[in-house]
Structures are given as structure tokens and as C-alpha cells.
Amino acid sequence: MNVALLDDAENGRDYTRVRDAIRYLVSHAGDQPQLADLAAALYLSESRLQRLFSRWAGVSPKRFIQQLTCEAAKTRLAAGAPVLSLSHELGLSGASRLHDLFVTLEAMTPGEYQQGGAGLDIVWSVEASRFGPALLARTARGVCALQFLADEAEAEAWLRARWPRAALRHVAGQGRELCGRLFDPLAEADGPPLALRVQGSNFQIQVWRALLAVPYGGLLSYRQLAERLGRPGAARAVGNAVGANPVAWLIPCHRVIRAEGALGGYRWGEERKLDLIGWESARLAAAGEVAA
């Protein structure tokens, strides 16, 4: 039996369990559910659920739900600069344990964009991640796609639509190690910065670069992001560019929410957006407690 396949299957089951736990916590937040209630709903023992959830999120289910409320989101939106300041104080930028990869972004040339990737070699695979199956595709000059997609057929169709003239090469497992680093909260940073090589319009590239400046655990509204770009009246256009992001997580479009604290849309599902925000926020809170 292939050990890697067993690990992938177990990771997938763990993601489903934690996703279901988050669904329950959010839908019952007003009742302040106890660990016993959550464990019973998921047909798991309290001790197993506590271990699983804490290993995945780095904090208890109780602390996690505290970070997911609309009021908490609005507070973090209003905090703005203090969140960024805190992240630096805790060492959460650059070589931190909580976001361990320094990311650089380079746009493809207009010629590559217009020619549909002609002459471009793309190696890809679908890998298990703590947030579900993920397409990871790379060129010789960097990662060009990280998408939460269900299977290889869907992944290849997405790549073909985006780069119809590129040479696509599926190599099973080629992105497993990188996916492990991306989504492992205890990973140490080493090696060179992670390069992204993306395809987009000039405006989209500007928006994605601005997203890279949003700190780990931070949130901002579409209007705030538009203001950072010097385009205060372009919140809708900014939202469209955010939604077109080809590299999930690394270009953190999940950190943009509506001004009133609601999640807003997410191309890979609002539940996954909630997972991402809650995981980052809970780990940031836990790090703050340790630092204090």
C-alpha cells in the first residue's frame, strides 16, 4: 500500500471532520456549544476531537469560534495598522512560523498572455492540503496556480482554459512537499523566496500585489483595498480582480471581506474562506497569548 496515498486520504478525512466542526460551531454560535455537544454531533470522542481540532487550528474549538464572529471581524477591520504592528511584534512576517514563505510576484509578459502560454511548460498535480484538494502548477520561473479543485479532470480543464497553447505535464506528487510547507503552521522557513509567475491584466496584477501586503491574520474591506490602490471609487472592480486571483492562500484574497463584517464571496466557497480566516486568526491569537 502506498503510504503517501494513505496519508493523503487521512488528511482528506481530517479536513472534512474539521470543516464539519466549523459548520456546527458557526451555525450554533448563539448557543455557545460545549466540546461535548460538538463531539456528539461529529460522532467523535471529546479527547479525539480536541486533539484533531487543536492540531489543525492550533487552538481549541472554543477559541476558534471566538475568532469567527462578525463582531470580531469588524473589530479587526477597524484595527488595521495595529494588526500589522502586532504581526511584526510577534515575528509573523517573512520567516515566521505562522507564514513561513516570503513571496515574490512576477507577471507574465504581454506576449505570453496574448499567445495563450505558447512555449510555456507547466508541471502540475492535485495534492492534499489541510483545506482540501489543491491544484498546484508551476513553470520554470515560479508557481502559476494554486486552486482548490476537486479532481484532476477539473484541474486540467482549468489549466487548458487558461493556457490553451502551453505544454501541460501532469506529474503526480510534484507539489506534495510544497503543499506541506504552505499549510503546515509549524514549518520553518528555509531556502529562497517562493516566486509566483501569474497571468493577468495590469490592474489585476496591481490588486494582487496589494493583497501580498495584507498581514497574516489581517482583514480589510474591498473599499479599503481600493483606497490602498489610490482608486477609492473602484471597489467593485477591485472585487472582480480579487475574485480572479489564480493563486489561493499565497495571494491572500481570503483576507478581503465586506465592510460590515460579512464574508463576501469566495471562488472556492464561503465555508473554505471561513476556514482560512478562522485558522489564521486563531493562530495569531494563540501566538499573542504566548508572547504575552
For the chain, the domain total comes to 2
Same domain, 20 and 120: no
Same domain, 16 and 80: no
Q: What pLDDT does 70 receive? A: 53
What is the Cα–Cα distance from 241 to 40, expressed in whole angstroms? 42
Last residue of a domain, one of 44, 66, 88: 66
Q: What pLDDT does 4 receive? A: 43
Q: What pLDDT does 287 receive? A: 60
Same domain, 230 and 108: yes
What is the Cα–Cα distance from 142 to 104, expressed in whole angstroms? 9
Q: What pLDDT does 57 receive? A: 65
Q: What pLDDT does 75 receive? A: 58
Domain assignment of residue 54, given as a range: 3-66
Report which secondary-structure segment, H or E, holds 135.
Answer: strand 134-139
Q: DSSP letter string over 145-212?
A: EEE--SSHHHHHHHHHHH-TTSEEEE-TTTTHHHHHHHT-TTPPP-SSPEEEEE---HHHHHHHHHHH
Same domain, 76 and 163: yes
Same domain, 128 and 165: yes
Q: What pLDDT does 8 receive? A: 52
Same domain, 86 and 187: yes
Residue 269's closest CA among 71, 72, 124, 133? 133
Cβ-contact 162, 203 below 8 angstroms: no
Same domain, 119 and 100: yes
Same domain, 284 and 208: yes
Q: What pLDDT does 169 receive? A: 96
Same domain, 57 and 189: no
Same domain, 125 and 212: yes
What is the Cα–Cα distance from 129 to 183, expressed in whole angstroms? 7
Is 144 considered catalytic here? no
Torsions phi, psi of 123, nearest 5?
-100, 135
pTM of the model: 0.76
Mean pLDDT by 10 residues, the chain (292 residues): 42 76 76 86 91 77 67 56 44 39 80 82 91 91 92 93 94 88 58 83 92 84 91 92 94 88 83 81 61 38
